A and B are shown apart, each in its own frame.
Chain A
Amino acid sequence: MPVGAPPERYGNITVPELLILIPFTGAILCFLFPEVLRRLTGLLSAALIFSNSAILTRSIFQDGARRLHLGGWTEPLGIGMSIDGLSILFILLTAVVGLLVSIYSASFFSAAQEQVLARHFWPLWLFLWGALNSLFFVSDIFNAYVVMELVGISAAALAALSGTSASLTAALRYFLLTMAGSMAFLLGVGFIYARTGLLDMYLVGTVADGGPLMAMALGLMTVALIMKTALFPFHFWLPPAHGEAPAPVSAILSGLVIKGSFYLLLRIWFTVFQNSTVTTHAAALIGLLGLIAVIWGSYQAIIQTRLKLIIAYSSIGQVGYLFLLFPLIFMTPDPAWKTEAWTACIFQAISHGLAKAALFLAAGNLIQASGTDDLRSMRNIADKLPMTTFTLALAGVSLMGLPPSGGFVAKWMLLQSILASGQWWLAAAPILGGLLTAAYVFKILSQSFVSDDKKSCCGNVSFVMEKSALLLALFSILIGFRANEVIFLLSEPVFFIIPGGQSP
């Protein structure tokens, strides 16, 4: 049953599909082209994706959510794509981080010994970007599985890019876990299909009821996605994988890839299982894990001595905040506070993505300048690379949640909805987590206030690398001033009416 062309399509020039097509095309071209052209192709694709994301954001902001039916087949037969406020925010995050990381890597990989890395970096990164974009559009649970695999393989290959034995092991550990998670997810798809006979998220959401099958599916999928997002008991793979990769890759993995699986978790919980199955106990359990993750991850970050490991462990803590959303949504009676919790969580995801990418890029500058990311080498860069120090400080401010950064807005709204919902035990997360975060951020920064006269700094860092990291950090601060728009995008509840959508 092919759908007739919606008339407004031609009036509206935005084409969301391009966000998937451009990176994939770029990836293929990068693969086929000789090496000299790869960087150019990569940068061009990045710029195109970014501009398209910006245009699409504007369109979604003005006209509301969109729904595509791939191949002209409506659900449940075909595969749909949904683009609403939530997905567009993540798309935009990916576009901003992706563009700046691409610019950064164009310079990062230009050193002679890095050339061989650049050759593999560009196609894989563009594939990953395309996969992430399609993940944020995903509306079909089996499609989600395939996309996740695409993300998983390209991310693991990127994590292994530097080729040291530590990074290879870390990449394999990450990949095996991802794969196990995918298997669990696939079985979950099976359970959902067994209950509803449907694969589209929105259709499943409308017909799904409780029952052991759905509960099982929810459990399997949740565990799968929690593993990929590195929530507390499954966090062990993250620090080595993110800490050992080259700087731009770390930025991508930490800033974007774990957000991808988290996004899917949100979709699963709030679209597929929106009115069934989900018990407050499960939500509370996830919240508890998030709380532990905040404290444990931040504590681990404090006791590390390598900059990149600190940043990587900090990811575990910062990701923990995101999971506080679940108990808040399911235990807050007031819809206004639900929206608040929802916004807080997305804000946290976005500002963490920006800040973490900035931190990793800055760490890359540090490594390139001093050859190591031992914290003590920070002492040398304060004078040589004031911009990098400033970047670390700005991103740190956002992580700590000090005003007026994006992190502050997130923590503010989070604490507000925690207090409003009466879930007192959760308040420990923003308060204690903020303290611990401050502890490790200042552990990094305090080193830059010590001048070490004994040895001088060796390498230089290119202008582009410093500035792109700085820009990311600035964005993570500035997003604190644009809370209104984000709230607007998220506040609209999205229901798609699918023409001909039938439920057996």
Chain B
Amino acid sequence: MNLNFWLPILMLSSSFFTGLIIFFLKEESTALRTTLNLAGSIFKVFAVHFMAYRLLVLDNIHQVSFSMGLGFDFVLRVDFLSLMFLALSSNLWLVTTIYSVGYLEGSPNRSRFFGFFSLCVTASTGIALAGNLITFFIFYEFLTLVTYPLVVHRETREALEAGRTYLWYTILGGALLFLGVVWLQVITGPLDFVDTGALEALGREYHVSLCIIFLILVMGLGVKAALVPLHGWLPVAMVAPAPVSALLHAVAVVKAGAFGIVRVVFDVFGRDFAGFLGLLGPLAVAASFTIIFGSLRALSQTDLKKRLAYSTVSQVSYITLGTAVIAYFSAVGAIVHLVHQGIMKITLFFCAGNFAETLGLHNIRDLRGVGRRMPLTAIMFTLAVFGMIGTPPMAGFISKWYLGLGALEGGSAWILVILVVSSLLNSAYFLPIVYSMWFELPSGQWKTIRTSRFEAPLMLLVPPMFTVGAAVFAGLFAGSNWSPLGLARQIAFGMGIYP
């Protein structure tokens, strides 16, 4: 058995077939469904770690390639970057599965939910593994399709509206991406991610076309990465159940966009060539604008999940920002933020889900004094908030520190200003929540929606603990080779970016 070939396939099918089987399960067979889900996700986690071992230690190249007969191949290829994204998605899938089993207990249509949930993870796995832009596009569109049912899962009118908005944005993005990908293919022929530099070899007469293609691609990816003004779907999609929001924000959708931008800049155009074409400056400006805009909008939200959503708009653009600066530290910062933002944001959403699920709290005003009623959740929330703001031992600090260093290295000191302002704004919209959670008195009686032995069901408590722990450890042990930062460094080396 050739593992180099089969391992990527196994990665995909572990969630794909799980999803398909789950569709056909009866609504009542909870135990079987949960077992399947957990088996699939645990298998995937092991597979990823095994793959990481094979790649990092044994230097095996995993590659799968089919000819589609269309002048391009369907390529799955594992490099450091995809490994990192894979590790993120598989681990968070496991965690989120556990969380959603607890969260959705007793609610209708669970087969549908978990089926699409697994497919969604398949899509993000595919996005991580994609070895060229076309394969990437295939999974990117697949992701759009399978997340829609998750967004409208509640079946309320509001949810359907949100679903429609989500679709319009993402399908428009998909169409743009399609145009860009095809155009690029017409100009260059089939182009794998490993062939960086092919565009540089093209003559000058293509430069204008390449600029337009870059713009189209970034716009197409920017829809999912929620670059302003393409972010409109994200706050609306908050009507989805908490695990969906968590997954959408932390791993699947926005990360797919951000990951795509990283791929386009680093692997398709090449960072230096993109800089040579003068594309990175505008990208950095757009990202900065999104960061500030998202934070400002977050300030004015009163709904907890909405505020988190705008925070996502802002935070994800750090990745784009780091990508757009030609500096070693920026690149590392961008890549590492991919992971850091994921684990921190998913914690926040888990906690928000806990508040909503056990006490029915949605509005920020209702959170007064909740720290006494739900201390564990509140502690986790607080930790994640500190991470988001970038307080030193936390993971967020690492990303921001690297991004800052990169800005200085790249000679764009104005980015530093953006970072500082953004951190201030982060504090401004997060700290009041933390303050009122711990130091204000509850306004009234808590109405308990779900009773359990602890403050919330165990299945809702363990996942955020895990993720917040990961965030803390990612910050504390950043120096290790196996931490996200260590991986990010290796990725940067792999791309030929040195300090």
Contact = CB atoms under 8 A, between A and B. Distances in A.
A and B touch in the complex (CB under 8 A): yes
A301 to B, nearest CB: 15
B462 to A, nearest CB: 30
Contacts of A435: 171-172, 175
A216 interface: no
Contacts of A430: 178
Interface in A460-494: 480-487
B185 A416 contact: yes
A415 B108 contact: no
A328 interface: no
Contacts, number: 78
Interface in B321-337: none
B175 A403 contact: no
Nearest to A438: B171
Interface in B86-139: 108-109, 137-138
A451 B167 contact: no
A254 B186 CA distance: 33
Contact of A484 (B69, B108, B171): B69
Contacts of B70: 409, 412-413, 483
Classify chain B's interface size. Answer: 35 or more
Nearest to B151: A449
Interface string B137-180: 11001101100110011010000100110011001101110110
A365 B261 CA distance: 44
A336 B109 CA distance: 50
Contact of B183 (A386, A419, A450, A486): A419
Interface residues of A, number: 34
Contacts of A397: 145
A72 interface: no
A431 interface: yes
Contacts of B141: 402-403
Contacts of A419: 182-183, 186
Given A403-B138, A431-B179, A446 B152 contact: yes
Interface string A443-456: 00010011100000
Interface SS, B side: helix
B57 interface: no
Contacts of B2: none
Contacts of B172: 435
A236 interface: no
Nearest to B140: A403
Given A402-B145, A413-B70, A438-B171, A449 B23 contact: no
A413 B164 CA distance: 28
A446 B164 contact: yes
A415 B67 contact: no
B68 interface: yes
Contacts of B174: 402
Contacts of A431: 175-176, 178-179
A413 B182 CA distance: 8
Interface of B: 23, 67-71, 74, 108-109, 137-138, 141-142, 144-145, 148-149, 152-153, 155, 160, 163-164, 167-168, 171-172, 174-176, 178-179, 182-183, 185-186
A-B pairs with the 7 shortest C-beta distances? A484-B69, A483-B69, A403-B138, A415-B182, A438-B171, A419-B186, A402-B141
27 contacts: A402-B141, A403-B137, A403-B141, A403-B142, A404-B74, A404-B138, A408-B138, A409-B70, A413-B70, A416-B182, A419-B186, A431-B176, A434-B178, A435-B171, A438-B167, A438-B171, A439-B168, A446-B160, A446-B164, A449-B155, A451-B109, A480-B68, A483-B69, A483-B70, A484-B68, A484-B69, A485-B69
Interface of A: 386, 397, 402-404, 408-409, 411-413, 415-416, 419-420, 427, 430-431, 434-435, 438-439, 442, 446, 449-451, 480-487
